[in-house]
Amino acid sequence: MKAYKDYTTEELKELETVLKIRYKEFQSRGLQLNMARGKPCSEQLDLSMGMMDVLSGDDDLLCEDGTDCRNYGVLDGIKEAKILIGDMMEVAPDNVIIYGNSSLNVMYDTISRSMTHGVMGSTPWCKLDKVRFLCPVPGYDRHFAITQYFGIEMINIPMSPEGPDMDLVEKLVSEDDSIKGIWCVPKYSNPQGYSYSDLTVRRFARLKPAAKDFRIYWDNAYSIHHLYDNDQDHLLEILAECKRAGNPDLVYKFASTSKISFPGSGIAAIATSHNNLEDIRKQLTIQTIGHDKVNQLRHVRYFGDIHGMVEHMRKHADILRPKFELVEQILEDELAGLEIGTWTKPRGGYFISFDALDGCAKAIVARCKNAGVMMTGAGATYPYGNDPHDSNIRIAPSYPPLADLETACRLFVLCVKLESVKKLLAEREA
Amino acid sequence: MKAYKDYTTEELKELETVLKIRYKEFQSRGLQLNMARGKPCSEQLDLSMGMMDVLSGDDDLLCEDGTDCRNYGVLDGIKEAKILIGDMMEVAPDNVIIYGNSSLNVMYDTISRSMTHGVMGSTPWCKLDKVRFLCPVPGYDRHFAITQYFGIEMINIPMSPEGPDMDLVEKLVSEDDSIKGIWCVPKYSNPQGYSYSDLTVRRFARLKPAAKDFRIYWDNAYSIHHLYDNDQDHLLEILAECKRAGNPDLVYKFASTSKISFPGSGIAAIATSHNNLEDIRKQLTIQTIGHDKVNQLRHVRYFGDIHGMVEHMRKHADILRPKFELVEQILEDELAGLEIGTWTKPRGGYFISFDALDGCAKAIVARCKNAGVMMTGAGATYPYGNDPHDSNIRIAPSYPPLADLETACRLFVLCVKLESVKKLLAEREA
């Protein structure tokens, strides 16, 4: 394929005419498709329906240690759940606190607690003039929304396939004690699907932050969310690395079963050092009478152990893989060689990241919307919704059925072509 | 019965000797009983076991409007749950947000949000020099723990069988703009079992707070938790009263099904004005992807409607009533006329409040503990754990089986007698 930039102006204009006709055809179809969020599809949810039957009215709802899951008590999670989720998070059960259904809620509460009570005795952040967070970009919009909500200033850190730019991270963190954290999705990152290299993880564990209350916010949301059986990313376990590096308290690790069991009713958890856990428990004992132990028991009885969970994830992969491959195939077929966009080819997670020509992302997403296909808002992958290049678009292939996904992708590449042509023509006119 | 104060010193000394022997007998029995918390007993939990079977793997988990409860979405609760909990809270469904399993968590989050973001645009409380809360006493220790945790100064407000001292509440609230809230358990109050009179509720609704961000924290934890079918307390609905009084935004109302379905895995809710809900949703959308909708659906399918829930509460009452009556009978049999204590006779809720002679509560609870019976810590019913008279003790009859409850109560009255005798003797020696 010839790159668009090598087209003559005449050729570009002809192409624009053809693309506009095709776009109008799409518009006339009254599509209503959604590729905006990393939402599992119905077939994936059906995989976990057995969970509705593992606890029956005829059973007891007792833990192995005799705890009645129906009653009050057990602030930080039943032992069985700590073992299961500990295995999932690759940490010891006693490094884990089990929460309710949303790891986002755990992260929010972690920031909120730091605002009002500081971290392990530090000055509450609300008493400080300035609090800053590092944000590898592109990244997860809901992370950025939390820090923005609390008035925390966000600093962009460029991502590479190895992870965040660690030279920059090390420099900023060691120089500036107003920097209190960094948001990380270290495996199958949102939206690029990158997994941090061993060197990156080791450099994280060896950070020397100016702020004692600096923590790495390690949202390992896709730890076992592989697309392939034999072609998986591996991530160094950060708690162990931090301990080894003499920085045991440096990291909060977050996870949930939202994309393993049910998005609305999984269980979430934090894993961190005993010092951090003690700090967290001081708050937790004030905040709640404990999280839903019946649902913890339900997860334990359903999955049995980590092997059951891994087996279960294979079924998710079987549903998701064709969707990712379809998107990649269409991008490849339609865009390869045109030099109007690049995209990632993740081996897991929920997203494909697409980079359009600078200044085209907003227009592409708007154009998709005007033909009935919702994409993640352009800019959403950057703090303050501000993508300085206006180029990144997050593609979420999980939710639509394959046929709809194909339609949505065909429209998407059409919009990419059309906006790219318009940009090139505008440049030549200028 | 002759009052202890009318005993001669000689008689008191003889009595002390007898009581000490009886106490030693109790100690020798190696008891391990717990009347510390308002914890439902196993028989009560068994009442809700049918809830484990209302959702099956063969069903769909769809709301009437087609929402799939298994997936992401629906920030503030499924419609069916809002109707059910709205009926329970005596408010319209659209005044309700459904949360996770703990109303305490909702209250904590409400205070925490006010600390970091204020209330409907007011200055965040963490930016103020002083924030105060009014605390009707005796009251609920976990309320006081939340305000203490956030460094909020607590001011005691005496309770009467009509509710808090409203003359004092009105005066303080109208004069002092650092007073931002008052903790209320308005029906079958914790620990006294008092229900606020109509006049008290009307005066609450007509408060004229100096602080615009003052709110009434109305924890209606025991709204349908009656002990008797035909002898129930009735509480005016405060949202409607506030609206009528031209103060629609004055109150946050909290409730949960913790003592209706399961303490560990019920559903909690806030009910308040649309202005307040809008303020709350701004935070909620940052904090979480939404609460457990499957558990909401489970509750709706199990109870059907408010009538099913009320019927269910009759079964709880049938289990709890004999326990309350046993405690009251023992107190009456053993203490009436001795003038060494008074106690409440609630028609609902989870507690009986006992007032010993001044300066005796700590000693009585310690003595119970030394013979193997855990009571709620003396002082716990007051802010900072400081009962200025050291006289109030909360009795929680729900958890122990009847036989154990009788033993625990017999020990309790013995300890009350013994410490009262010691006090009277000490006074005479002084």
- Can you tell me the ipTM of this complex? 0.96
pTM, rounded to two decimals: 0.97
Average pLDDT over residues A182-209: 98
Q: Are B105 and A288 a contacting pair at CB < 8 A?
A: yes
Those of residues 84-123 in B touching chain A at CB distance below 8 A are 100-102, 104-105, 108-109, 112, 115-117
- Torsional sign, CA A411, A412, A415, A421: negative
- Three-state DSSP state, A51: helix
Give the angle subtended at the CA of A91 by the CAs of A263 and A87, to the nearest 5°. Answer: 55
d(CA B127, CA B118): 9
Residue A289 has its nearest CB partner, among B104, B112, B149, at: B104
- Contact of B329 with B81, CB cutoff 8 Å: no
Tell me the percentage of chain A whose pLDDT exceeds 90.
Answer: 98
d(CA B11, CA B16): 9
Average pLDDT over residues A13-23: 98
A290 touches chain B (CB under 8 A): yes
pLDDT for res B264? 85
d(CA B68, CA B78): 10
Residues of A in contact with B109 (CB under 8 A): 287
- B40: preceding bond cis by omega (within 30 degrees): no
Instruction: Please provide the average confidence, as pLDDT, over all residues in chain A.
Output: 97
Scan for tokens 């900023």, then name that residue: A172
Segment B46-68, tens digit of pLDDT: 999 999 999 999 888 999 999 99
d(CA A390, CA A374): 17
Strand order in A352-356's β-sheet?
A341-343, A352-356, A392-395
Please give the structure tokens belonging to residue A303: 């999955």
Q: Are A264 and B73 a contacting pair at CB < 8 A?
A: yes
A62 touches chain B (CB under 8 A): no
Residue A105 has its nearest CB partner, among B59, B73, B287, at: B287
d(CA A252, CA A114): 13
Phi, then psi, of B169 in degrees rounded to 5 = -60, -50
d(CA B310, CA B229): 10
d(CA B372, CA B23): 11
Average pLDDT over residues B200-219: 98
d(CA B128, CA B143): 21
Distance from CA of B117 to the nearest CA of A (A): 8
pLDDT for res A70? 96
pLDDT for res B134? 98
Q: How far apart are the first and last CA of chain A?
A: 26
B124 touches chain A (CB under 8 A): yes
Residue B116 has its nearest CB partner, among A53, A126, A290, at: A126
Segment B232-281, tens digit of pLDDT: 999 999 999 999 999 999 999 999 999 999 998 999 999 999 999 999 99
Segment A352-411, tens digit of pLDDT: 999 999 999 999 999 999 999 999 999 999 999 999 999 999 999 999 999 999 999 999
CA-derived radius of gyration, chain B: 23
Please give the structure tokens belonging to residue A285: 């004992």
pLDDT for res B351? 98
- Three-state DSSP state, B133: strand
Segment A106-159, tens digit of pLDDT: 999 999 999 999 999 999 999 999 999 999 999 999 999 999 999 999 999 999
* Chain B residue with Cα closest to A282: B149
Residues of A in contact with B104 (CB under 8 A): 287-289
d(CA A258, CA B71): 9
Those of residues 169-228 in B touching chain A at CB distance below 8 A are none
Q: Are B264 and A40 a contacting pair at CB < 8 A?
A: no
Tell me the percentage of chain B whose pLDDT exceeds 70.
Answer: 100
What one-character DSSP code corresponds to residue A123? Answer: P
CA A94 to chain centre: 25
Question: What region does B262 belong to: left with phi over 0, alpha with psi -120 to 50, or beta?
Answer: beta
| Preferred mutation among A52, A58, A69 to probe B, highest tally of B CBs within 10 A | A52
d(CA B19, CA B9): 15
* Chain B residue with Cα closest to A47: B57
Q: Are A149 and B105 a contacting pair at CB < 8 A?
A: no
pLDDT for res B304? 97
d(CA B105, CA B99): 9
B385 touches chain A (CB under 8 A): no
Residue B40 has its nearest CB partner, among A71, A104, A291, at: A71
d(CA A355, CA A344): 9
**From the CB of residue B269, how many other CB atoms can be counted at a distance below 10 Å?**
28
A72 touches chain B (CB under 8 A): yes
d(CA A6, CA A9): 9
pLDDT for res B239? 98
Residue environment code for A154-183, b if the CB has 16+ CB neighbours within 10 A, otherwise e: bbbbebeeebbbbeebbebbeebbbbbbbb
pLDDT for res B430? 83
* Chain B residue with Cα closest to A259: B71
Cβ partners under 8 Å of residue B127, min gap 6: A126
Give the angle subtended at the CA of B14 by the CAs of B10 and B16, to the nearest 5°. Answer: 115
Q: How far apart are the first and last CA of chain B?
A: 26
Phi, then psi, of A70 in degrees rounded to 5 = -75, -25
- Contact of B144 with B137, CB cutoff 8 Å: no
pLDDT for res B416? 98
What one-character DSSP code corresponds to residue B285? Answer: H
Average pLDDT over residues B316-344: 98
Please give the structure tokens belonging to residue B206: 């007509």
On the question of pLDDT at A275 being above 90, the answer is yes
What are the C-alpha distances in Å from A141 to residues A33, A89, A380, A399, B97? 21, 23, 5, 18, 24
Q: Are A112 and B108 a contacting pair at CB < 8 A?
A: no
A370 touches chain B (CB under 8 A): no
pLDDT for res A355? 98
Q: Are B102 and A289 a contacting pair at CB < 8 A?
A: yes
* Chain B residue with Cα closest to A124: B126
Nearest to B84 by CA among B339, B267, B344: B267
d(CA B215, CA B133): 10
pLDDT for res B285? 97
- Contact of A356 with A416, CB cutoff 8 Å: yes
A264 touches chain B (CB under 8 A): yes
What one-character DSSP code corresponds to residue A133? Answer: E
- Contact of A348 with A227, CB cutoff 8 Å: yes
Cβ partners under 8 Å of residue B258, min gap 6: A72, A289, B101, B102, B103, B221, B266, B268
Residue A57 has its nearest CB partner, among B50, B108, B109, at: B50
Phi, then psi, of A218 in degrees rounded to 5 = -95, 90
pLDDT for res A1? 81
d(CA A5, CA A218): 41
d(CA B332, CA A320): 69
Phi, then psi, of A84 in degrees rounded to 5 = -60, -50
pLDDT for res B332? 98
pLDDT for res A264? 85
How buried is residue A56: exposed, middle or buried, by Cβ count under 10 Å (0-12/13-18/19+)?
A: exposed
What one-character DSSP code corresponds to residue B236? Answer: -
pLDDT for res B1? 81
d(CA A139, CA A141): 6
d(CA A10, CA B368): 95
d(CA A364, CA A387): 14
* Chain A residue with Cα closest to B47: A57
Residues of A in contact with B149 (CB under 8 A): 117, 283, 286
Residue A101 has its nearest CB partner, among B50, B56, B100, at: B100
